Structure 1
Amino acid sequence: MPGIYLIAILVSAAGIVAIDARLSLAFWRAPVRTTVSIVIGTTFFLVWDAVGIATGVFVKGGSALLLGIDLAPQLPIEEPFFLAFLCYLAVVASGWANRRLARRPGRSAPGDEDGRDS
């Protein structure tokens, strides 16, 4: 079924957004920094993909799960969504790990003395 991969990415992203909203781990704690991190990470990985495609290392392959729309040769439209999801997941996981580390006796999370990043 075309589009199921993109739907899966969006549903997964919605789950991470819900976790982030509930626990205030990334975007709800520092929206500008989170957005900048996601944009920089996604851009980095899109450039990485472009280099991999240009050198013949990355090939799209055929799948009925993709929409069939390419942004460039061998670069399906789903790729930027996946990369942004991956970057957001990493930022949220980092926020969770920092919070867990800050709860350990005698420790504080990276950032301000109160354990919160600005």
Structure 2
Amino acid sequence: MPGLYLLFLAISAAGIAALDVRHRLAMPVAPIRSTVAVVAGTVFFLAWDAVGIATGVFVRGDSPLLLGIDLAPHLPIEEPVFLAFLSYLALVVWSAAVRGRLRKADAP
């Protein structure tokens, strides 16, 4: 089913966003800084992908779950969405870990 991977990425991102908002971890606390971090991570990983594609290390696999739209050779449209999700997930996990360490340090 084409687009299923993109749908699951969107559902997963919505779940992480719900946790982020519920526990006030990243975006609700510092939206501009969080957005810059996610965009910077996404751009970094897209550059990494570009190098991998140019050197022949990364190739686009065939999957019926992809939409079939390429932004560039061997770069499906789902890739930047996945990289943004990965960056956002890392930011939320990092924020939760920092909060946990602060709480542990404050405990008597």
Shorter chain as denominator, the TM-score bin is: over 0.9
Matches within 5 A, 1:1-118: 1-106=1-106
Quote how far apart the aligned CAs of 1:48 are: 0.3
Percent sequence identity over matched residues? 63
- 1 or 2 for the larger relative contact order (CA 8 Å, sep ≥6)? 2
CA distance in 2, matches of 1:105, 1:43: 35
User: TM-score normalized by structure 2?
Assistant: 0.97
CA distance in 2, matches of 1:105, 1:90: 22
Q: Residues 105 and 47 (structure 1 numbering): CA distance in 2 closer, same or farther, change over 3 Å?
A: closer
For the aligned residue pairs, the C-alpha RMSD in angstroms reads 1.0
Alignment correspondent of 1:111: none
Quote how far apart the aligned CAs of 1:105 are: 3.4
Task: Give the unaligned 5+ runs of structure 1.
Answer: 108-118
- Could you say what secondary structure the match of 1:64 adopts? coil
User: TM-score normalized by structure 1?
Assistant: 0.89
Q: Residues 105 and 48 (structure 1 numbering): CA distance in 2 closer, same or farther, change over 3 Å?
A: closer
> Runs of 4 or more off by more than 2 Å in structure 1?
none
Number of paired residues? 107
